[in-house]
């Protein structure tokens, strides 16, 4: 990630000094093709899930980036879920795509070039974006937990609901990326209740979780979701902050 940030700093990501069409852009707009390619390649390496929406249509849909083919001028996305999103994309030909790359919002418009299928699963060729929004200032620092296992448990639905179990892939003070052991019918906006994570010291932290994105974990056969904490007590927030600091220190010792 450090290499990517240096690259973005050195590149003229705001385009040429004399654009053909004067256009107001925020400081978060990236228009340099090399920078756009670098960001999307990072998103692909991180197996980032994206949320998709359509103008004048309600509902959010999920997808994953399958590959970046900058020389050919396109990127490939997995089939939209729920299935209504697939039909809308074929009809509308354009969608708004949003994800979070290591805690930083990444957003762009996706113009459909071609749709196909492989083994019964749809995929899409989308034009390489001419610009995207990359809000580099993070609201929360996010740390990966591959060497520091943290278990997760929650429930989907009313009453007892569906019991969901798994572990955290990464963690911040604002939320977490969770890898579930089982497949689950999750969509952006769902609320998981009665959630707990267990830190390595054995402390259980309760909260509820708002799902921001969800999709299949193709490497493990379960479900991967990203969510924002709700109903998190201040004392537990402090415990999470200390744990994140401990993980950072351990990583610094090993580097």
Domain limits, the chain? 2-134, 143-254
Q: Which residue has the higher pLDDT, 150 or 247?
A: 150
Q: Which CATH superfamily is domain 2-134 in?
A: Electron Transport, Fmn-binding Protein; Chain A (2.30.110.10)
- Torsion angle (degrees, nearest 10) of CA 241, 183, 63, 65: 80
Band (125; pLDDT cuts 50, 70, 90) = very high
Architecture of domain 143-254: Beta Barrel (2.40)
| CB of 46 closer than 8 Å to CB of 108 | no
Q: What is the mean pLDDT of residues 46-53?
A: 91
Distance CA 111, CA 108 (A): 10
- Please indicate whether the domains covering 2-134 and 143-254 agree at the CATH topology level: no
Distance CA 4, CA 132 (A): 16
Map residue 84 onto helix, strand or coil.
Answer: helix
Residues with Cβ within 8 Å of 216's Cβ and at least 6 positions away in sequence, in order, are: 183, 222, 223, 224
- Does 59 sit behind a cis peptide bond, omega within 30 degrees of 0 on the bond before it? no
Share of the chain above pLDDT 90, in %: 51
Per residue in 148-196, pLDDT tens?
A: 789 999 999 876 788 999 999 999 888 999 999 999 888 878 899 999 9
- pLDDT, residue 130, reads 94
Q: Is the pLDDT of residue 23 over 60?
A: no
Band (95; pLDDT cuts 50, 70, 90) = very high
| CB of 228 closer than 8 Å to CB of 174 | yes
Nearest residue to 84 (alpha-carbon basis) of 48, 109, 47, 53: 53
Tokens 């034009």, residue located: 127
Q: pTM for the whole thing?
A: 0.51
């Amino acid at each position: 990630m450090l290499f990517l940030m240096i690259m973005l700093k050195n590149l003229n990501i705001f385009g040429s000094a004399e654009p053909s069409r004067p256009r107001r852009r925020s400081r978060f707009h990236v228009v340099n093709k090399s920078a756009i390619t670098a960001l999307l390649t990072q998103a692909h390496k991180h197996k980032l899930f994206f949320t998709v929406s359509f103008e004048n249509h309600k509902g959010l849909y999920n997808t994953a980036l399958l590959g970046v083919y900058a020389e050919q001028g396109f990127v490939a996305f997995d089939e939209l879920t729920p299935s209504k999103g697939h039909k809308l994309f074929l009809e509308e030909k354009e969608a708004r795509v949003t994800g979070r790359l290591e805690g930083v919002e990444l957003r762009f418009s996706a113009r459909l070039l071609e749709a196909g299928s492989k083994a019964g699963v749809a995929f899409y060729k989308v034009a390489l974006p001419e610009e995207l929004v990359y809000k580099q200032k993070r609201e929360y620092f996010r740390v990966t937990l591959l060497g520091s296992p943290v278990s997760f448990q929650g429930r989907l639905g009313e009453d007892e609901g569906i019991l969901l179990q798994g572990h955290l892939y990464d963690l911040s003070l604002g939320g977490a990326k969770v890898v579930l052991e089982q497949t689950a019918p999750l969509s952006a906006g769902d609320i998981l209740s009665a959630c707990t994570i267990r830190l390595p010291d054995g402390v259980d932290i309760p909260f509820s979780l708002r799902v921001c994105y969800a999709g299949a974990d193709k490497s493990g056969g379960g479900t991967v979701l990203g969510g924002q904490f709700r109903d998190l007590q201040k004392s537990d927030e402090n415990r999470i902050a200390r744990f994140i600091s401990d993980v950072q220190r351990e990583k610094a010792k090993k580097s």
